[in-house]
Amino acid sequence: MIDPRRLRTLHAVATHGTVTAAAAVLGYSGPAVSQQLAALEREVGVQLTQRDGRTLVLTPAADVLLAHAEVLFAQLDAAEGDLAALRDEVSGQVALACIPSASAAIVPTAWRALRAEAPHVRLELVEMEAEESIPALHRRDVDIAVVHAYAIEPKPLDPTFAVQPLLVDPVWVAVPADHAAAGLDRVDLAALRDEPFVAARSGTRCADMTQRACALAGFVPDVVARATDFAVQLNLVAAGLGVALVPELTIRRLPDGVRLVAPAEPISRGVQAVSRRGGDRHPAVRLVLDQLAAAAAAHRSPASVPA
């Protein structure tokens, strides 16, 4: 029989890259992790790791075992969830990683409803971009990740994750109020090829969206400023320093001097709640997912954003 705890150890080494890092996450010593791996090798009868200089490398046999382990972990998570559902009271701790825009627009409503319905469920929130939260979900650092993916540049998720759509978020073109496009209902991005652009930080999905949208319009944008905070982007647009592509959910207040125009070719992103398959069966996790969905369904855009 394969000990699931030793499988968790192998998974931690594969996820975090080193025995030392895995030990820190698991709360073990380095030698204890090595002993767990050696015991697992004896159980399965094949070599799972080998040394490449000072680095520990997983063998192809370890990759095969880890693929099966993901299915087993999902089953164990489902079993724990089903047993928890038999209790009279929904309780537990749920770690939620969330993109900043949804943290502001959706999470407060969901959290308030959660406290009223299940006061013994402890929700812990940390803001993360999707590039950070999906690996954190895989490492089991969080239980739910609220992420986004743009329709023009989809990011397929690992099939071991369960995905719950929350809402479709349209993207607007933000232009200075005195811009020639400010009075239009729609603007072709190709008409903005000579404009300076304000965009998100490189390496983020929002930055990739701007690059992709402009590429589809036939040009490479001249990005003069990058900011993670969309409020900063909008203030730069208001100052006449450029134009920007801004998801509606990120707009909490529209600065004076900014007009929003729909792109001629619509751009949108799907906002989703992602959890580990099987883990979504736990009553506390399921309740948080349901409250996020209800809050997203009830969300209304600020009055300053044109509908």
Query: Tens digit of pLDDT for each residue in 6-40?
Result: 888 888 788 777 888 778 767 788 888 888 888 88
Residue pair 195/240 in contact by the 8 Å Cβ criterion: no
pLDDT score, position 65: 83
> Which has the minimum average pLDDT: 47-51, 72-76, 206-210, 239-243?
72-76
Task: For each of the domains in the chain, give its residue range(s) and CATH number, in order of start.
Answer: 4-83 (1.10.10.10), 90-167+270-298 (3.40.190.10), 168-269 (3.40.190.10)
What mean pLDDT is predicted for residues 85-106?
86
The pLDDT tens digits for 105-138 are: 999 999 999 999 999 999 999 999 888 898 888 8
What is the model's pLDDT at position 71?
76
Q: What is the pLDDT of residue 302?
A: 63
Q: How many CB atoms lie within 10 A of CB 286?
A: 18
Distance separating alpha carbons of residues 170 and 246, to the nearest angstrom:
9
Q: Evaluate if residue 287 carries a pLDDT over 60.
A: yes
pLDDT at 146: 97
Confidence (pTM): 0.74
Indicate the pLDDT class of residue 86, thresholds 50, 70 and 90. Answer: low
Does position 265 have pLDDT exceeding 90, yes or no? Answer: yes
User: Which range among 136-140, 154-158, 163-167, 214-218 shows the weakest confidence by mean pLDDT?
Assistant: 154-158
Per-residue pLDDT, 51:
80
Confidence of residue 307 (pLDDT cuts 50, 70, 90): very low
- In this structure, of 92-101, 262-271, 278-287, the range with the lowest mean pLDDT score is 278-287
Alpha-carbon torsion angle 153, 156, 157, 163, nearest 10: 80
What pLDDT does 210 receive? Answer: 97
Calculate mean pLDDT across residues 198-219.
95
Residue 304 pLDDT greater than 60, yes or no? no
Distances (CA, A) of 295 to 5, 140, 246, 298: 37, 25, 22, 5
Q: How far apart are CA 237 and CA 227, in angstroms?
A: 12
What would the mean pLDDT of 175-182 be, rounded to a whole number? 96
Please tell me the least confidently modeled range out of 27-41, 66-80, 190-204.
Answer: 66-80
Residue 224 predicted with pLDDT over 70: yes
Task: Give the pLDDT score at 84.
Answer: 65
pLDDT at 61 over 90: no
Give yes or no for a contact between 267 and 213, defined as CB atoms under 8 angstroms apart. yes
Q: Residue 286 pLDDT > 70, yes or no?
A: yes
Percent of the chain with pLDDT over 70: 95
pLDDT of residue 13: 81
Half-sphere exposure of 71 (CA within 13 A, CB side): 4
CB 209 within 8 A of CB 171: yes
Mean pLDDT for 185-190 is 96
